[in-house]
Each structure stands twice: as C-alpha cells, then as structure tokens.
Structure 1
Amino acid sequence: MRRIRWWWGALVLIFVAALVGVFAFSGSESRVGRPLPRQGPPGTGPLTIVSLGDSTVSGEGAGNYTADTNGSKGDWCHRSPAAFVDQVKIPGVVEHRNLACSGAPAAQVALGDVKQWTEGSQAQQLATLVKDHRIAAVVIAVGANDDPQFSAQVTGCFKAWFTPQNPPCRTGLAATWQSKVDAMVPKVVNAVADVKKVLAQAGYTPADFQLVLQSYASPIGPGIPEELRSLNGCPFRAEDLQWIGREGITTLTGGLKTAARQSGARFLDLSRAGIGHEACSGGANPATEWFTRLTLQLADLGQVDRASHALQESFHPNAAGHAEFARCLTEFLAAGDGNASCLAGADGNLHPAPEVVAR
C-alpha cells in the first residue's frame, strides 16, 4: 500500500514539473514573439521638437532674428530665438528646431519646389533633420498666407483708414472671406500629409510623435484707445478692428480646425489667446501687449534691399506673446491627446482649455 502511494506521489511530482516546464517555455516563447513597446521615436540623435509654418511661428515680431534669416542673400524668414518653439519644455527634449519662414504658404511647408525667401520645402528640411534627430513633436501653423492672405487683408484695412470717405475694408472682406478660407483647407491638409509622409518614410508610426496644427491669435481687436487708432500705433477703423478680431479670425480658425480633423492632427486654437493683449490694447502701457504695434525700422529705409521690409514686423506676436504661447503649448503637449484652446487662466497666463464636444 505504501509502495503504491510512493509511486503515485512520484508520478504527480513528475507531472507537475513537466507542466511547469511547458508553461515556462511557452511563456518565454510568447515574450520573444511579442515586440516590446518602442521607447520613443525611432532612429538616433537628440530628442527634438520642430516647428513649421509662417511668420506666427518663425518669430516675426519677436526681434533678434538670426543673421541668416534677416535679409542675408535675400532670406527674410525672420526666425527668432524668442519664438515659442525654443521655449517649449518637454521631458527628454534637448533640441528645438524652427524651420518656419515668414510669409510661407502651405505649398512651401509641403514637399515640392515652392520656395519662400530663397528657402526650399520645409517638409524636405524635416526629412534631412530626421536623419540624425529623433522627432518628439511637430507643430505647424500655416494657411493664412494662402487664399485668405491675412496679412494683405490687414494691410488693406490699414489703407482704408487713410480714406475715410470710402467703405471700410470689412465690407469687401465679409463677402468673400468664407470662400477663401474654404479654398485654403485642402492646401493645409496636403502640407500636413506631406509632413506625416516624411516621418512615415523614416520609420515613424503615429504613436511615435505628436503632430499639432495650431490656429492664429488676432493681433488687433476692438477697444483700442482712440488716440492710438493712428500712425502712433494701430491705424484702423473701429468697425474693421471689430470684424478682424471676431468674424475674421473665427472663420479662419474654423477652416484650420477642419484641416486638422481631416489630416489627423491635434488642434490648438489660439483665436482667443490674445484677448486683452492685442496691439495697442495697453494704451500708454505697451508692456501688457503680446503683439507688435505699427513698427517701422527706420534704419532699413536707407538701404535699397531692406527698405521694402521696414514694416515686416508689424502686427505679429512679440517676445512676450511667444512666451505665453510656449506656456500653453507645453501644457498641451503634456496632455498627450485631444484638442484645446489657449485661454487666460486665473493667473493671467495662457493655459490649454480642453475642447468640450457637444453630445
């Protein structure tokens, strides 16, 4: 009887040992066959955040432009070290690359042969950068220089101030603004698609990086003191200021949000980011403003190759504005997903307010 029990116990032990071995072997094989989660973007080199787009990204208005983009050999991209991309703080990111160029249309951000101030495709520049950098995030702001021609419209409103006997600029703008924004959308979508294509060809998956399309903050708005609605600061009619700061920027933002949705990018809405801090809104205290007033570089007027750019900085985010945009963008990227609007918090600084979707 005891001998039977002994054999029975031995068989049970052998069976259990074999079973454990099977599980251990199977588990090991399963771990080998299952790919481990990728630790960040592929490739080699420093973890980097990149900005692409036009003047609102390059740093136009922030001053202290890099020598190679301040008119050298015809390059007027006006990239400033005070631009928001250089101030964004992301854990692990050690490099910031600003590839934006003042005045750039969507076609120059996209792949192709379109140039802006002698510089070629920004997406192609990204393709070169990704060879020895690991891209953590790409932030894009573009579209205003396409069909809407936002800067040209502001200039038109500036001219309307000189001719008070003629209709305000908003009269003509309101009739065609929506159609111009609608025509812009597919061009922005194409530019974003090319950026995604460049990274996909470098081995990136959507999970490897953040892709953000942001809108524009209105540089001017209603409520400017009467004495500053002149060549001393912001020469615009009151009704034109109201239209640009409200209907104009709202419609443009709506088009860019559509482009973000169609291209699969996160959307950061800056349309209300500058409220209360627009150019000339501070009256006698411009230190509270986040945008440049009418700015004339007198020294440039005496040089033939620079004279036509003497007003280029006017009505763009200044260094203080870029610092606030960087604060909001830093928090937005930290959230990791979803859309948001940059709004002033109780502390007076910009923070991303998550988008509320109607159910």
Structure 2
Amino acid sequence: MARFRWWLAAFALVGVALLVGVFVLIGKDNQQPDDRPGPPGRGPLTVVGLGDSTMSGEGAGDYTSDTDGADGNWCHRSPNASVHHVEVRGIVESVNLACSGSPAGHVGLGDVKQWTEPSQAQQLAELVKDHRVSAVVVAVGANDDPRFSRLISECFTSWFIDNGDPCSERIKDDWQSRIDKMVPKVADALQDVRQVLRTAGYDRDDYDLVLQSYAAPIGPDIPENLRNLNGCPFRTEDLRWVKEVGAASLTTGLRQAASETGARFLDLSRAGDGHEACAGGGDASSEWFTRFTVQWDDLTDVDRATHAIQESFHPNAAGHAQFGRCLSEFLATSDESAACLEGEDGNLHAAPSVVAQERG
C-alpha cells in the first residue's frame, strides 16, 4: 500500500511538471512582446543631421555627386561631416539632410527650398518611415538675420580697402538686433522638427533634439604673413571681433532658442580655439578650418565658377571629426547643455556647462 502511494505521488508530481511546462509554453506564445526601448517604428537606430554648411560638411571635401552642383544642387554633403562621426551605443546609422546655405525656414516645415531641395523637416518625415530616429542634431541660424557667412565676406572685402573702416565697425551697430530676430526663426524650426516626430508617434523621451552653435573659423592670433590671399585676408580688428563678439553672441541667441523649445544645447563657440584657419602658420596640419580656398578648375566652368570659393573658412575634415567626437560624448550623457573644449589630449570633449563657465 505504501509503495502504491509512493507511485501515485510520483505520478502526480510528473503530471504537475508537465502541466506547468505546457502553461509556460502557452504563456510565452500568447505573451505580448515588451515595448522596445527608444523610438517607435522599424528600421535602424539612426542619428540625423539637419541645418546648414557647418552640418552638411562644407569644407570637409568628398561631397556626394548629387550635392556637388548636379542639377543646381550645391548642398555639399560630405561623408566626412560631423554627424557621420557620431558613435553612440545602439546607433548604427547616420543620415545627413543638412544643406549648405540653409536658413531656419528650410530646416522647418514649409515651401522654402535650398539648392533645389525641399524642406529638411519634410525629408525627415519620409526618413522616419523606415528609420528609428534616436537623435536629431541641428546647426542653423547663421544664414538668417545674422548672415554670418556674408559677414565673413564683408570682412574679406574690407581687407582690400586700405582706407575703409574695419567691417566690424559697421556690423556691430545692429548685430544684436539681427540675433534677436534670428531666435524665433530657429525656435520655430525646432518646433517643426518636434511636430514631424510627434506625428510619427514619437514621444519627447524617444529621441534627443540637440541644437549646436558655431565655432569661430578665424581668430586674431595668426602670423602677419598669412593675413593675405595666401591664407586669411582679414584685418586684426575684424578677426578679434568675429571670435570674441560675433561667435559668442550668436551662441547666446541660439542657447535661448534651445531653451524655448526644450532642446539640448551644445556650445561650439570655443571649439576651434588655437585651431582656427591660419593659426598653424607654415604648418596647416593642426588647423580644423579651411583657409581661403579656391577650386581653380571650377573657374573654367560657368555653372561652377560662382561656387569656387564656397569651401573657404568652414570646418575641414579634421574639424568635423573633432566636432563629431564631442557630439558623441554629449549624446551619451543626460546633460541639458555642454561646451566642446579641448582637453589635455588635444581632442575636443563635452564639458558640462559649469566647467565650461569656469574655463571661460
């Protein structure tokens, strides 16, 4: 009898084990899959670059054939652009929608075209159909009311006129008002980017939206023998103003636009310190910006001649690599703002705002 009870108990245990196994298997089959972390949708986890020349890769060379003048497209997107140097855990693809010369209106939604291309926000709306966008990095504003590139051109022209006043004397009178007019345009563009992602089912926590400022491409501490067409034809007064006032106040305005839209902010205003165009003297290898550059072959082609000096005074490939390094560090943190500063190793690093202020 005792033996019979033992076999009965053993049989019962086996039956329970089998039932548990069946329930586990059924449970796994019927269990809803866990929500995947990060952005919704399908496709590779992606970082996207939007904006103007400083994001497109102007100055970095090797422009894609479709953006190097083909059918009037001069967006000058380069595989060397900073967005393609981003290395963040989980992100496997980078897409550059930036276009050289773009104002904020081209980044946002609307009918503004730049070099034949439609709104970058509209292009982003197409991209999210088959990409999971983890981060959008924007560099824009300089081509709006500040017209920073035109400012550089004006200062270039001023160098030729010996008896004329430094260009900064003419510009500084209304410089702040130009920046004040720029801020709401950049804020509107950022809100349009958020609208595109919201329409695609994204919550704000699903992605990072980063607005970055501009690094000064030129500075006053360059050899006298390079303040000419051999490198950097600018007056010392103008070089000092561009670096110490122009780029710094532009950064302040962009920081305000980021704050108004809840975007993270990356300050690049001092990122080029010591590495500006012509700062290396006879050896340009340490410079992160192009000197006065002429594509001589383009001068023989009517359609390309007006773009022959387009690369001048933009970040070069080395500069973009450094900006990408700093951006990668910033994206890996939860800091709302940081500044790209050179570390003891000679590379740019994302310094928290409090550290950047102490070093400023």
TM-score, normalization: structure 2? 0.89
Residue 248 (str. 1) matches residue 246 (str. 2): yes
Task: Select which of 70, 77, 97 maps to 2:68.
Answer: 70
Measure how far apart 1:223 and its partner are.
Answer: 0.7
Match of 2:341 in 1: 343
Identical aligned pairs, as a percentage?
64
Measure how far apart 1:90 and its partner are.
Answer: 1.2
Match of 1:206 in 2: 204
- Is the CA contact 2:335–2:352 (under 8 Å) kept in the aligned structure 1? no
Distance 1:324 1:95 in 2: 19
1:118-197 to structure 2, matched below 5 A, reads 118-197=116-195
Distance 2:105 2:262 in 1: 19
* Superimposed CA distance per residue, residues 271-291 of structure 1 (whole angstroms, 9 cap, x where no aligned partner): 000000000000001000000
Unaligned runs of 5+ in 2: 1-30
* Superimposed CA distance per residue, residues 89-147 of structure 1 (whole angstroms, 9 cap, x where no aligned partner): 11121111000000000000000000000001000000000001000100000000000
SS in 2 for 1:335: coil
Measure how far apart 1:36 and its partner are.
Answer: 6.4
Match of 1:354 in 2: 352
Match of 1:11 in 2: none
Structure 1 segments, 4+ long, off by >2 Å, are 35-38
Match of 1:53 in 2: 51
Amino acid at match of 2:207: F
Distance 2:323 2:104 in 1: 21
Residue 238 (str. 1) matches residue 199 (str. 2): no
Distance 2:342 2:151 in 1: 27
Measure how far apart 1:87 and its partner are.
Answer: 1.0
SS in 2 for 1:136: strand
Match of 1:310 in 2: 308
Task: Select which of 328, 331, 334 maps to 2:332.
Answer: 334
- Is the CA contact 2:104–2:141 (under 8 Å) kept in the aligned structure 1? yes
Amino acid at match of 1:142: V
Distance 1:37 1:267 in 2: 29
Distance 2:354 2:342 in 1: 17
Amino acid at match of 2:343: G
Amino acid at match of 1:275: D
Distance 1:273 1:99 in 2: 23
Unaligned runs of 5+ in 1: 1-31
Amino acid at match of 2:213: S
SS in 1 for 2:61: coil
TM-score, normalization: structure 1? 0.89
Match of 2:105 in 1: 107
Task: Select which of 283, 286, 291 maps to 2:284.
Answer: 286
Distance 1:125 1:312 in 2: 24
* Superimposed CA distance per residue, residues 287-344 of structure 1 (whole angstroms, 9 cap, x where no aligned partner): 0000000000000000000000000000000000000001100000001332000000
Distance 1:188 1:338 in 2: 18
* Superimposed CA distance per residue, residues 28-48 of structure 1 (whole angstroms, 9 cap, x where no aligned partner): xxxx9xx96651110001111
What root-mean-square deviation, in Å, do the aligned CA atoms of Structure 1 and Structure 2 show?
1.5
Distance 1:38 1:235 in 2: 54
Distance 1:356 1:343 in 2: 13
* Superimposed CA distance per residue, residues 177-216 of structure 1 (whole angstroms, 9 cap, x where no aligned partner): 0000000000000000000000000000011001100000
Task: Select which of 319, 323, 326 maps to 1:325.
Answer: 323
SS in 1 for 2:332: helix
Distance 1:263 1:315 in 2: 30
SS in 2 for 1:175: coil
Measure how far apart 1:53 and its partner are.
Answer: 0.1
SS in 2 for 1:194: helix
The aligned length equals 326
Distance 2:331 2:90 in 1: 13
- Is the CA contact 2:108–2:190 (under 8 Å) kept in the aligned structure 1? yes
Distance 1:126 1:206 in 2: 16
